[in-house]
Amino acid sequence: MAIASGPPAATRCQLLLTGKLMTASPKGKSWQLQLLLLPCVLLVGALVIYPALYSIYLSLTNASLVGVAATHPRFVGIRNYMRLFSDGEFWNSLVVTFWFVLGSAVIGQFVLGLGSALLLRRPLRFRNLFNSIILLPNAVPEVVAGFIWISMLAGGEHSTLNRLLSVLGIPAVRWLEQVPLLMIVIANTWRGIASAMILMMAGLSAVPPEVCEAARIDGASPRQVFRFITLPLIMPTIFLYMLVSTVSTISIFGFIYALTRGGPGNATEIIGIYIYNQSFTAFQLGYGAAVAAVTLVISIAIGSFYVRALKVQV
């Protein structure tokens, strides 16, 4: 009677090879991971780091789209920055951008996004329909969204909004001429509610339900549960959203340019539109690059503030 003597030789060799692969050294694994990250590093270097460095270089020259400086730009040092800090239009664009970011990203999108997330956590009859309505603005390209809001607000008494208000006996209002900054704040709030809602729902889903249940058993009201338990636990998510939304709103361009082009006058000329006007309307690439470099520094400073407030490594 034959006695089994273990797996065949080929199988034993395969097991040995598999064991060697599974017990690869940490150094070898680290090299493999770095190799996998190489395409991402190359893309970031080509599409982010190189353009940023080239923009800083342009800001130190008199580069232009016309004239001699278009083909032979000359090094001018910090002259563009000296002009920038004495330019009233630049400071106006910073003020407009501040109110735009504060009204739409920090207040509007956050409050409505958090409210929508809290509402969708409850059992609702038309929950899927409500969710689709909130997510719909993200599916619309920003230029198309801009023209949608133009049809709503522009055209005097013939605009969509004024026609709806005329049914209630309210006289027509020239929204983009009388309150242009408020209108772009509302429009951008509408466009960004979905992103805020998704992040807030992710933060709320991480709150342990047993902690809230224990607070209710101890006699806490729903408002107290939200204020003293839910809100502190989702604070990291809130700061993460503030970081992302603030930086992305500072860099917005296409949506507002399609809606108002910075007008009337410079009432809605946010920093992105100001950079475009200086670079491609006034043909001053060097000066526009200087404004872009200062905007980059401001964005990094705001990001550092949020990271310090969050007290985590990002």
Asked if pLDDT for residue 242 goes beyond 50, the answer is yes
Banded model confidence at residue 25, pLDDT cuts 50, 70, 90: low
The runs of H, that is alpha helices, within the chain are 9-22, 26-44, 50-59, 79-85, 88-100, 110-120, 127-135, 142-153, 160-167, 175-178, 180-205, 209-217, 222-225, 231-233, 235-250, 254-259, 271-276, 285-310
Distance CA 170, CA 174 (A): 13
Asked if pLDDT for residue 156 goes beyond 90, the answer is no
Tokens read off for 242: 């503030």
Which range has the top average pLDDT, 141-145, 169-173, 185-189? 185-189
In angstroms, how far is the first alpha carbon of the chain from the final one? 67
Tokens read off for 301: 């400073």
Please report the pLDDT score of residue 293 as a whole number: 94
Distance CA 314, CA 312 (A): 6
136 secondary structure, DSSP code: G
218: Cβ–Cβ under 8 A, 6 or more apart, which residues? Answer: none
Q: Is 140 left (phi over 0), alpha (psi -120 to 50) or beta?
A: beta
Tell me if residue 48 falls in helix, strand or coil. Answer: helix
Kindly report the backbone phi and psi dihedral angles of residue 81, in degrees, each rounded to the nearest multiple of 5, phi listed first: -70, -35
Least confident of 2-6, 69-73, 159-163, 180-184: 2-6
161: Cβ–Cβ under 8 A, 6 or more apart, which residues? Answer: 152, 153, 175
Is the CB of residue 292 less than 8 Å from the CB of residue 55? Answer: yes
Kindly report the backbone phi and psi dihedral angles of residue 202, in degrees, each rounded to the nearest multiple of 5, phi listed first: -65, -40
User: Average pLDDT over the chain, rounded to whole?
Assistant: 86
Each residue's pLDDT tens digit, 175-196: 998 999 999 999 999 999 988 9
Asked if pLDDT for residue 288 goes beyond 50, the answer is yes
Each residue's pLDDT tens digit, 208-241: 889 988 989 888 898 999 999 999 899 888 988 9
257: Cβ–Cβ under 8 A, 6 or more apart, which residues? Answer: 146, 272, 273, 276
Please report the pLDDT score of residue 64 as a whole number: 93
Kindly report the backbone phi and psi dihedral angles of residue 130, in degrees, each rounded to the nearest multiple of 5, phi listed first: -65, -40
Tell me if residue 125 falls in helix, strand or coil. Answer: coil
Map out the domains of the chain with their CATH numbers.
88-282 (1.10.3720.10)
Distance CA 115, CA 259 (A): 27
Please report the pLDDT score of residue 26 as a whole number: 63
Asked if pLDDT for residue 137 goes beyond 90, the answer is no
Each residue's pLDDT tens digit, 83-106: 999 999 999 999 999 999 999 998
